[in-house]
Chain A
Amino acid sequence: MEIYGIPASPGKKCGKVFIVKSNNSPKIKSTIRNLIIAVEDFTDLGLILELRNALAFISKRGGRTSHAASIIRELGIPYVSGLGDDFYKLKSNDYVLIDGFEGKITIKERS
């Protein structure tokens, strides 16, 4: 299955999805490494710095010009934003390929 959003930061990465919710504890966030982080919205830019070991980012809202996108591009991490309701098609532990040039997410294996 393919889902399309807005290409917001370049690069291609494969990995498991981890959905970060506002009620995830800071301890959980700080231990996240080598995962593709999916978040509804980056209302807290500090969250990006906490999650800078992520493989890639995905978000429901936001665009190419958001402040979050600017920071993520500076960090050199691929990012697809603005998925809208298709965001909810993703589940934690899905194995996906994220393409930050085309804004495409391919679900390779379901959790």
Chain B
Amino acid sequence: MVQMRHGIAVNMLHHGSAITEYAVKIEKGVKWICLRPQRELSVLEFDGKRGGFENTPTILFGQPKATCYRDKKGVIWYSNFVDENDIYCRTLHDIPWFINKLKERKEVFEGCKKHMSTIVKLIKNGEINNRDFCIQQIQKWKEFNSSLFPYMFLALMTDELIIENFTDLINKTSNKVLSSKILYDLLKSEYSKNFIKKGKLARVSKNFIFPPEPIFIPEGIIRFDLYSNFESDYIDILMAQSHGNVGTTIDLFNRFKFIAPIVFQLSEENFYVMRSFSIIINHLLDKVADALLSLDILSNKYQILDYTIDQLTTLSFSNLDKSLN
């Protein structure tokens, strides 16, 4: 399906991405959307991420907060949420806004990465056996998510849309091989490069699991200086065309050329930072679950995911010793 908005063809096919099966329902006159019908969140995960989901329209567009709920299956539904076409069009046509959001995002992400490094050092120093430390960090994770998630949506909802429309533009005005060559030069990620160098294994499993995966700290930066060796070939092809839209096409090409590599890298950073943070929290939950299991409060570790973070805090403070050993 191709939607027209602000005069731009918006290709809604996501080619197997996580938001391919975007669902919509109307209940009592309220429109609810579900970005990932296949993705189920536990009570604890939803509680940890809810603030971020709700804050997204406010942080991105200064609009009222969204409403969200977790259905019986654990799937998340949103009302008054941001629209991917709005993010797409704003990004493409209001580059100063996009740059401003990038600056805000950088501050939040850098703060989070710094905090993660500190927690990992403390875990290595044995603080993982301290009840107060574990509970504080799980609460801190929730706080960080409130500001991290809105900026994640900058790329999460639009990266494929931007890159597919960029590809379509080049394909229609030149050829498929040239579009691949241009994109391969532009879609590069320091995070992937470092992942290969370190040889660490990172499952794409997004849920908390027991036992947790090994902790890893991702390394990477967002590069703004990526260019393609084939850009001039494309401009040559365009200039040789006789129709009158060349200027508009070149303008659109330049916008995509600037935005596409950035949103791709944002998506990579989202993935590696959030996975790393989740794994760290997973280790702390594992420790708390061990202690609750030994007190017969839980009969298996996965039951810890049925509590909200406040419930878990109350449960831990009323039942567990300061030391979780």
Interface residues of A (CB under 8 A from B): 6-7, 9-10, 42-46, 49, 60-67, 69-71, 73-75, 81-82, 84, 100-103
How many residues of chain B are within 8 Å of chain A by beta carbon? 33
Q: Which residues of B contact A42 (CB under 8 A)?
A: 204
Which of these, A67, A82, A103, contacts B192 with CB under 8 Å? A67
Flag if B181 contacts A10 (CB, 8 Å): yes
Contact A70 B187 (CB under 8 A): yes
CB distance from B211 to the nearest CB of A (A): 16
Which residues in B have their C-beta under 8 angstroms from that of A84?
Answer: 16
Whether A61 touches B16, Cβ cut-off 8 Å, given contacts A67-B268, A70-B187, A73-B184, is: yes
* Cα distance, A9 to B181, chains bound together (Å): 9
Q: Which B residues, 181 to 217, have Cβ-Cβ distances below 8 Å to chain A?
A: 181, 183-184, 187-189, 191-193, 195-196, 199, 201-205
Cα of A88 to Cα of B265 in the assembled complex, Å: 32
In the complex, chain A residues whose CB is within 8 Å of the CB of B160:
63-65
| Contact (A71, B163) CB under 8 Å given A46-B203, A102-B177 | no
Task: Give A81's nearest chain B residue, CB to CB.
Answer: B16
B53 contacts the other chain (CB 8 A): no
Q: Given known contacts A64-B163, A65-B267, A71-B196, is B202 in contact with A6 (CB within 8 Å)?
A: no
Q: Check B184–A70 contact: CB distance below 8 A.
A: no
Q: Which of A43, A71, A73, A101 contacts B195 (CB 8 A)?
A: A71
Shortest beta-carbon distance from A79 to chain B in Å: 11
Is B176 within 8 A of A7, CB to CB?
A: yes
- CB-based closest 4 A-B pairs: A46-B201, A61-B16, A70-B192, A63-B15
Mask, B23-66, CB within 8 Å of A = 1, is 00000000000000000000000000000000000000000000
Contact A63 B17 (CB under 8 A): yes
Tell me if B176 and A101 are in contact (CB < 8 A).
yes
Name the distance in Å between B200's Cβ and chain A's nearest Cβ.
Answer: 8
